[in-house]
Chains A and B, each alone.
Chain A
Amino acid sequence: MIDSSLDNFNTEPMEKPASPARQTWKMFSSNQSAVAGLILLAIVLIFSLVGPLVYQVAPTEMVWMPLTPPLESEYLLGTDYLGRDILAGLINGGRITIAIGASAALLTIVIGVTIGALAGYYGGWVDNLLMRVTEFFQVLPNLLLAMVVVMLFSATLTNIAIAIGIVSWTSTARLTRAEFLRLRSMDYVRAERSIGAKNRRIIWAVILPNAAPPLIVSAALSIGTAILFEAGLAFLGLSDPNNMSWGRMIGDNRPYILDSWWGVTFPGIAIFLTVLAISLVGDGLNDALNPKLRKR
């Protein structure tokens, strides 16, 4: 609608181009909500990684009168129905929650990128087959499938992370496939092929780096999704009995909400703030890495 000459319009004088990482950081750091998310994320990480060294109360042991409200004892956030310290649970549960979230997200990305890359690059029957598999996983409610897997193979930290990984990769696979479909006919890919590069090299060393920006964003956001997922499983009773996690705290304390609002409220806030921080950072990365896709 605007005359095309305006497209060339640039109010800023030309600067010498900065490195891509620097440019991304410049865009990212000028985004207030992204920076807020990053700070929040740093606080959460310090809280749950450094916290256990500073605040040495066992999260799974009875330390005080059960159901003590916040600020009424030395255990600032109160105790739960077994007299366990809520603050200790938050600090130690955070480590577990984040560890499971991060490793499940890693698995999600590895499976999703591999399947999407192969489908998008080779096309034809490979694509057909892999997209059928993807469709299959999309038809199954992912939480139910993860519940089945964890129940049948017992609730250890590893099994939980694996279960989350194998039920969550479909959207990453679709995204990767779309990027590969778009990029595989680009001139530089054709050039590589014409000089005889192997498919393996073209997929992982040529196309993947160019498809990276949206995948990085997707990886960041999938950590948040995995944390929510872990919390959901733990809430349903599928958590490692030897480790405290935020979701498990909510699940354990839910029957006692009439007696203690604090038992469920604080872990929920912890999950909320962590996932919020991750999504703010993810959105910020999205804007910084894909400037063309920025919201108007």
Chain B
Amino acid sequence: MQAPLLSVRDLEVSFQIGGSDVPVVRDLSFDVEHGETLGIVGESGCGKSMTALAIMGLVPNPPGRISKGSILLEGIDITTASEKDLQALRGNDMSMVFQEPMTSLNPVFTVGEQIAETARAHFGLSRAEARNKAIEILRLVGIPSPEKRVDDYPHQLSGGMRQRVMIAISLVCEPKLLIADEPTTALDVTVQAQIFDLFRELQEKTKTAIILITHDIGVVAEMADRVMVMYAGRNIEKGPAIDFIRAPQHPYTRGLISCIPTLQADPPDEPDALFEIPGVVPSAVELAKPGCAFAPRCPNVIDRCKVEFPPSTQIENNRSVSCWLAQEETV
């Protein structure tokens, strides 16, 4: 079997807050294979965006830093690579699409220039060649009359169009890994569907591996091969997307899945109220406490949960879950 494209081991990202180091991502390990799509799911504040920035080598420093672990992209360790090596990797071997298309493009340059400069930086293309490349890639991401749009400024485009431009920027160098951090959260539902269609289509053509970060289970079900669920900075469940939807293991994951309203062919006269997980996402203070961070909200909590974090337990089909209940079942 081929070595994985990306291999994250024991990653810890900490932030300096009020004089103390607070970890926002902890004990995180996962792989991404060539050409696959990994969905990372979690509520806002669970550390999924920080994980993405860590892979890109873009953790804002100060106040943040990677305090433990390794991130290997085709054997190169991001955590120890020089800024110069990282520059060569970013935008070229790995690239990222951000959540906010309205603010992620520089307002004072044309979209064509913002695409072309990436191609110039990595491929050493001339201005004319890079411009042609920009037009070509704009056409690929489905922007109508790209010859004209190439000279537009971001404020002349709609949100959906801007996100297509962001995708064009991230794909212009045909990266092996594309990280999409909530790429459609800021967009209309109809535009969301178009963007995901675009991702699928492009992935077929380029064989790019995608890490798709989202809080939307529906998106994961549709797009991802495998899923990793994060809660309070840790991975709590990991496995193939199909199994994850059909038989969630962790109480939190089960909660997430129950939150999705379902369409029923023959709806009951009195429909059930929408399910919600009681409680709120823990703050960073609680992250520092021992035990499972989900315990205060968990319907199946046992005493042990409050003092000790459960280790990752391997269950069938390459699945793993971090929960004392699962531990007890397998032992």
Instruction: Check A6 for interface membership: any CB of B closer than 8 A.
Output: yes
- Smallest Cβ-Cβ distance to B63: which chain A residue: A2
Bound CA–CA A5/B24 (angstroms)? 9
Which of B17, B44, B64 makes the CB contact (< 8 A) with A9? B17
Contact call B22/A6, Cβ cutoff below 8 A: yes
Instruction: Check B285 for interface membership: any CB of A closer than 8 A.
Output: yes
Contact call B64/A5, Cβ cutoff below 8 A: no
Contact call B20/A9, Cβ cutoff below 8 A: no
Which candidate, B26-34, B83-91, B161-169, B276-284, is the interface stretch facing chain A?
A: B276-284
Contact call A3/B17, Cβ cutoff below 8 A: no
Which candidate, B2-10, B45-53, B108-116, B322-330, is the interface stretch facing chain A?
A: B45-53
Instruction: Check B19 for interface membership: any CB of A closer than 8 A.
Output: yes
Bound CA–CA A259/B63 (angstroms)? 57
Tally chain B residues at the interface, Cβ within 8 Å: 23
Instruction: Check B60 for interface membership: any CB of A closer than 8 A.
Output: yes
Bound CA–CA A12/B19 (angstroms)? 11
Contact call A5/B60, Cβ cutoff below 8 A: no
How far, in Å, is B23 (CB) from chain A's closest CB? Answer: 11
How far, in Å, is A7 (CB) from chain B's closest CB? Answer: 9
Contact call A6/B60, Cβ cutoff below 8 A: no
Tally chain A residues at the interface, Cβ within 8 Å: 11
With A11-B18, A11-B19: A6-B24 Cβ-Cβ less than 8 Å? yes
Bound CA–CA A57/B47 (angstroms)? 73
With A11-B17, A11-B19: A5-B53 Cβ-Cβ less than 8 Å? no
Which of A1, A3, A12 makes the CB contact (< 8 A) with B44? A3
A4: chain B residues within 8 A (beta carbon) = 44-45
B294: chain A residues within 8 A (beta carbon) = none
What 0/1 pattern do residues 101 to 135 of B give for CB contact below 8 A with A?
00000000000000000000000000000000000
Instruction: Check B15 for interface membership: any CB of A closer than 8 A.
Output: yes
- Smallest Cβ-Cβ distance to A12: which chain B residue: B18
Contact call A3/B20, Cβ cutoff below 8 A: no
A56: chain B residues within 8 A (beta carbon) = none
Contact call B53/A1, Cβ cutoff below 8 A: yes
How far, in Å, is B84 (CB) from chain A's closest CB? Answer: 23
A9: chain B residues within 8 A (beta carbon) = 17-18, 22, 283-285
Which of B49, B50, B53, B283 makes the CB contact (< 8 A) with A8? B283
* A residues 66-81 in Cβ contact with B at 8 Å: none
A2: chain B residues within 8 A (beta carbon) = 15, 24, 50, 60, 63-64
- Smallest Cβ-Cβ distance to A9: which chain B residue: B284
B22: chain A residues within 8 A (beta carbon) = 6, 9
How far, in Å, is B210 (CB) from chain A's closest CB? Answer: 22
A8: chain B residues within 8 A (beta carbon) = 283-284
Report the 5 A-B pairs with minimum CB-CB distance, sorted nearest first: A11-B18, A5-B45, A3-B45, A9-B284, A8-B283
Subset of 25 A-B contacts with CB under 8 Å: A1-B49, A2-B15, A2-B50, A2-B60, A2-B64, A3-B24, A3-B49, A4-B45, A5-B45, A5-B283, A5-B284, A5-B287, A6-B15, A6-B22, A6-B24, A6-B45, A6-B283, A6-B284, A8-B283, A9-B17, A9-B18, A9-B22, A10-B285, A11-B17, A11-B20
Please name 19 further chain A to chain B contacts, defined as beta carbons within 8 Å, in addition to the given A3-B24, A9-B18, sorted by A numbering. Answer: A1-B53, A2-B60, A3-B44, A4-B44, A5-B44, A5-B281, A5-B282, A5-B283, A5-B287, A6-B22, A6-B24, A6-B45, A6-B283, A6-B284, A9-B22, A9-B285, A10-B285, A11-B19, A12-B18
